[in-house]
Structure 1
Amino acid sequence: MGLSIWQILLVAVLAILLFGRGRISDLMGDVAKGIKSFKKGMAEDDEDENNKPEPPKVINQKSEDVVSEKTSENTENK
């Protein structure tokens, strides 16, 4: 048992009578705005992921201190 054309037309006529022609078009406009807003938000999220800054580089200070201590010991021994 499928829907016949008469049943679909009856539902469409009832929807137009209940909600009015202007209200249905307003509803469709609101749906379109929601879709556009969603797409814009998704595009902004993609841009944020692509523009993430690199993590700061850590300089190992211990190795530099050891190098400077060895050079100072070598200059003191001479």
Structure 2
Amino acid sequence: MGSFSIWHWMIVLVIVLLVFGRGKIPELMGDMAKGIKSFKKGMADDDADDKRTVEHRADETVSPAKEKVSKS
């Protein structure tokens, strides 16, 4: 009772094909693929931006303060 037989899956497949139609399913998969590609491209662009902002010169030093400020 807990598992589905091949006939259950065939009935579900027929119902899905009737609801969405034969041409609609490939269109949905194509839209999903375009979304995934766009997401990956955005992530790659974001990583490239992060690498540019992290670069800095390590040989720069900070000069110490010349005067001490005392509280009155």
TM-score, length basis structure 1: 0.67
Superposition deviation, residue 59 in structure 1: 7.5
Identity among equivalent pairs (%):
49
The RMSD of aligned alpha carbons is: 2.1
Q: Could you say which residue in structure 1 is the equivalent of 2:13?
A: 12
AA in 2 matched with 1:54: H
Return the index of the structure with the highest Cα Rg. Answer: 1
Q: Could you say which residue in structure 1 is the equivalent of 2:56?
A: 54
Greater relative contact order: 1 or 2 (C-alpha under 8 angstroms, separation 6 or more)?
1
Alpha-carbon distance in 1 for matches of 2:35, 2:61: 44
Greater share of helix residues, 1 or 2?
A: 1
Mind listing any 5+ residue stretches in structure 1 that lack a counterpart? 64-78
Q: Alpha-carbon deviations, 1:24-50, whole Å to 9, x = none?
A: 110000000010011001100110011
